[in-house]
């Protein structure tokens, strides 16, 4: 299928031999390197997850890398491999800041599943110590998030079209899934309803494909996108049992056929949600009801510049910490659309600068809200942009960070 540009290697990541190969802890040698570099655990650390597979296929990483971020310039330095683990394409840090979790975007863990790896974070050095590895309960896990209580991890398995709830045990290890869901019986069209003229963006409408799962700000509901079904599902979450049940009012919100919902982001007010569609390259603004978990469509805009024609695949969506601006990444077009957010939540595109790299996937704003980092998978780099707080506009800092096939970046301060 033509998704080769987006999700290379889910079926080719066959090199996992055992749980030992999934993760390695750094020894006293790593701590000595830290001392030599003068790293004392202060400032902001950045962990980068990468894709690892055949060289030249967009999978040139070796695992999870650790950097130090300069808060004044955004520069990432002191790179080193913190954990060697296969295709940790998405990583998340526990609310306690003591643990890091990574999906392993593979399809042959103990049969035909992906996996999730748990690590303890050394407070002084940032080193990662492997805790355990569990099944993600589906092939090709591509996203994970942590419950606001820190007691559960949620995983979306793209290849299997399933989502899973994994308990976080005392000490940070992961337990066997408390719940698994896979919805079927509906698929969107092959072509996106809202695609730009001349688009050949054909992706994952051959079956269900869970792409993101995350709790709402209150932690009462969990939302999950399914790209193949063109739906955003809403589940009520029982923290006592770790079970998900369909929201009573409306168990899902439907997107136009073929548009392919990928990721979403909540506004700081908790009542507005923005979803980005991979094949249509659109952003949809919803009103969110935190009491019922329901979504009501308000607006649809393109993440591409006016007059664009051809093929592009949208990837990531972010809302600025102050809630005034929204950022949406475009692959192939290789830009970041910048939107202002009005008093009513509606969007207006104000810029569309280059990512200064090839095929941007995940983007992330640093904890201080001053810089935006774009993971350019096909150019093996992370580019850094300064955010102008008053206008929302982005200026490339001139800082590139080398990273083989970066999939995600997250910060610990």
Question: Are 87 and 59 in contact, with CB atoms under 8 Å apart?
Answer: yes
* H or E element in which residue 35 lies: helix 28-37
Q: Give me the phi and psi of 50, to 5 degrees please.
A: -130, 165
Q: Is the pLDDT of residue 172 over 60?
A: yes
341-356 per-position pLDDT tens digit: 999 999 999 999 999 9
Decide if pLDDT at 337 tops 60. yes
Mean residue pLDDT across the chain: 90
Task: Please tell me the predicted confidence (pLDDT) of residue 162.
Answer: 97
Beta bridge partners of 173: none
Those residues with Cβ within 8 angstroms of residue 65's Cβ, 6 or more apart along the chain or in another chain: 47, 48, 50, 79, 80, 81, 82, 403
Taking the CA atoms of residue 119, residue 125, residue 126 and residue 129 in that order, the dihedral angle to the nearest 10 degrees is -10
Length, in residues, of the chain = 413
* Residue 307 to residues 191, 197, 337, Cα–Cα distance (Å): 19, 9, 14
Residue 309 neighbours by CB distance under 10 Å:
9
Per DSSP, which regions of 198-324 are E strands? 210-215, 221-226, 231-238, 243-246, 252-254, 261-266, 272-277, 282-289, 294-302, 313-319
Q: Cβ(262)–Cβ(211) under 8 Å?
A: yes
d(CA 273, CA 22): 35
Provide the 3-class DSSP secondary structure of residue 115. strand
Half-sphere exposure of 329 (CA within 13 A, CB side): 28
Q: Exposed, middle or buried: residue 75 (CB in 10 Å: 0-12, 13-18, 19+)?
A: middle
What count of Cα atoms within 13 Å lies in the side-chain half-sphere of residue 65?
A: 26
Q: What's the first-to-final CA gap in the chain, in angstroms?
A: 41
Q: Yes or no: say if 384 and 399 are a contact pair by the CB < 8 Å rule.
A: yes
How confident is the model over 193-225, as pLDDT tens digits?
999 999 998 878 889 999 999 999 999 999 999
Q: What's the pLDDT at 54?
A: 61
* pLDDT at 17 > cutoff 50: no
Tell me the percentage of the chain whose pLDDT exceeds 70: 89
pLDDT at position 249: 83
Residue matched to tokens 């104000």: 350
Express each pLDDT in 284-307 by its tens digit: 999 999 999 999 999 999 999 999
327-337 average pLDDT score: 98
pLDDT, tens digit, for every residue of 248-291?
A: 989 999 999 999 999 999 999 999 999 999 999 999 999 999 99
Q: Please state, in angstroms and rounded to a whole number, the distance separating the CA atoms of residues 127 and 185.
A: 45
Q: What is the CATH number of domain 2-9+105-118+134-408?
A: 2.130.10.10
In angstroms, the CA 109 to CA 111 distance is 5
CA distances (Å), 267 to each of 165, 264, 287, in order? 24, 10, 10
CB atoms within 10 A of CB 18: 7
């Amino acid at each position: 299928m033509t998704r080769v540009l987006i999700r290379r290697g889910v079926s080719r990541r066959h090199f996992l031999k055992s749980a030992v190969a999934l993760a390695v802890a750094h020894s006293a040698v790593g701590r000595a390197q830290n001392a030599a570099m003068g790293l004392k655990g202060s400032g902001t650390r950045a962990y980068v997850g990468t894709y690892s597979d055949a060289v030249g296929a967009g999978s040139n990483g070796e695992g999870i890398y650790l950097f130090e971020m300069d808060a004044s310039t955004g520069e990432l330095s002191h790179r080193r491999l913190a954990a060697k683990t296969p295709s940790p394409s998405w990583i998340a840090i526990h609310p306690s800041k003591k643990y890091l979790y990574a999906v392993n975007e593979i399809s042959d863990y103990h049969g035909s599943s992906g996996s999730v790896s748990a690590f303890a974070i050394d407070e002084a050095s940032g080193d990662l110590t492997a805790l355990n590895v569990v099944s993600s309960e589906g092939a090709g896990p591509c996203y994970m998030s942590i419950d606001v209580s820190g007691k559960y991890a949620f995983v979306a398995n793209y290849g299997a079209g399933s989502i899973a709830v994994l308990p976080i045990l005392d000490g940070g290890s992961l337990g066997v899934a408390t719940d698994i869901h896979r919805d079927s019986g509906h698929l969107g069209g092959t072509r996106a309803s809202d695609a730009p003229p001349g688009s050949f963006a054909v992706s994952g409408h051959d079956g269900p494909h869970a792409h993101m799962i995350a709790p709402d700000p209150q932690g009462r509901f969990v939302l999950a996108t399914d790209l193949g079904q063109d739906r955003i599902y809403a589940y009520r979450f029982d923290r006592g049992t770790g079970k998900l049940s369909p929201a009573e009012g409306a168990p899902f919100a439907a997107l136009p056929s073929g548009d392919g919902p990928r990721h979403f982001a909540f506004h700081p007010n908790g009542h507005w949600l923005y979803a980005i569609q991979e094949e249509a390259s659109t952003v949809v603004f919803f009103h969110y009801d935190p009491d019922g978990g329901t979504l009501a469509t308000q607006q649809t805009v393109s993440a591409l510049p006016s007059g664009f024609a051809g093929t592009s695949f949208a990837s990531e969506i972010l809302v600025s910490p102050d809630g005034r601006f929204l950022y949406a990444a475009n692959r192939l077009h290789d830009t970041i659309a910048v939107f202002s957010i009005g008093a009513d939540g509606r969007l207006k595109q104000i810029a569309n600068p280059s990512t200064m790299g090839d095929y941007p996937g995940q983007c992330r704003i640093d904890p201080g809200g001053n810089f935006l980092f774009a993971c350019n998978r096909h150019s093996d780099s992370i580019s850094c942009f300064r955010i102008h707080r008053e206008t929302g506009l982005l200026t490339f800092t001139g800082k590139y960070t080398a990273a083989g096939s970066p999939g995600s970046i997250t910060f610990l301060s």
